[in-house]
Amino acid sequence: MDCEGQKLAEQLMQIMLLSFAVIAIGAGYITASFQTMILTYAGGVVLTTLVTLPNWPFFNHHPLKWLDPSEAEKHPKPQPSVNVTAKKKFTSI
Amino acid sequence: MHSFGYRANALFTFAVTILGFMCAIASFTDSFNSPSPSVQVQVLKVNWFQKQPNGNDEVSMTLNISADLQTLFTWNTKQVFVFLAAEYVTPKHVLNQISLWDAIIQEKEHSKFTITTSNKYRFIDQGSNLRGKEFNFTLHWHVMPKTGKMLADKLVMPGYRLPAEYR
């Protein structure tokens, strides 16, 4: 899951749970049945789990672009030897 | 870094917190309910009225209790516990209360009832004060919710009197 996907998953989870809570309270109050409220909400939690927990492809629409290996060889890492001698010089004083 | 476990934890915590708020809201809706129960009690017969060997009066009676408690029930009610008490004054104690009968009502339909019964629990005085005694019948009820605070209230029915002599 990429960065954009993580944000989407979190938002989706919060919105879905809150919506199902409101729907559940409404359904329970209208039918005067506490059990209806609890069952509606439980169904909502299960649905939210199925949508937001697994690593679905639509969460990966903005993948990070890692550098190609052949491209990396053209730009070698800088050598550390210059820094070491500079440090040594300083401490001798 | 985001992982499956992180999402699972966040979802579960949020879901349970919301469930707590839902129960609080359900309990709050009870405050919109204004109950209006009605009760009538008749003493059909005084079965017997004796003084026990230890000096305490005891009376047994057959009661006809007729009540309509349907307005106490809401969608958030688990059960209603109701009991009938006799209350009277004696020289030694300002208030004497004796529970004579009780019931647990779990369905709204069952809370409108008429029952003829002798007292379920013994009506025994502390002493010998019951001859000719004036007393009240008080119906107490406790409404136990599915979530939230229990509500207790009562209805006083004055004007009953025990026989003047033992029988």
The nearest CA of chain B is from the CA of A17 a distance in Å of: 7
Select from A18, A28, A53 the Cβ nearest to the Cβ of B18. Answer: A18
Within a domain: A34 = yes
pLDDT at B141 over 90: yes
Burial B34-45 (b: 16+ CB within 10 A, else e): eeebebebeeee
B13 touches chain A (CB under 8 A): no
Q: Residue A54: which domain range? A: 3-59
Q: How far apart are CA A62 and CA B29, in angstroms?
A: 46
Within a domain: A90 = no
Q: How many CB atoms neighbour CB A74 within 10 A?
A: 7
Q: How far apart are CA B79 and CA B151, in angstroms?
A: 11
The nearest CA of chain A is from the CA of B15 a distance in Å of: 7
Taking the alpha carbons at both ends of chain B, their separation in whole angstroms is 86
Q: What is the pLDDT of residues A6-24, one digit of tens each?
A: 888 889 999 999 999 999 9
Render B42-56 in DSSP notation, one character per residue.
EEEEEEEEEE-TTS-
Within a domain: A72 = no
The pLDDT mean for chain A works out to: 83
Within a domain: A71 = no
pLDDT in the model for residue A27 = 93
pLDDT in the model for residue A79 = 79
Q: What is the pLDDT of residues B101-111, one digit of tens each?
A: 999 999 999 99
Nearest CA in chain B to A2: B2
Within a domain: A93 = no
pLDDT in the model for residue A92 = 58
Within a domain: A82 = no
Q: How far apart are CA B131 and CA B154, in angstroms?
A: 26
pLDDT in the model for residue A83 = 60
Within a domain: A92 = no
B76/A13 Cβ within 8 A:
no
Q: How far apart are CA B63 and CA B39, in angstroms?
A: 13
Q: What is the pLDDT of residues B78-137, one digit of tens each?
A: 999 999 999 999 999 999 999 999 999 999 999 999 999 999 999 999 988 888 999 999
Give kind and range of the element (H or E) at residue B5.
helix B4-28
Q: How many CB atoms neighbour CB A42 within 10 A?
A: 14
A51, two tokens: 């949508």
ipTM exceeding cut-off 0.90 for this assembly: no
Q: Among A73-77, B7-11, B91-95, B119-123, name the one with the lowest average pLDDT.
A: A73-77
Domain count, chain A: 1
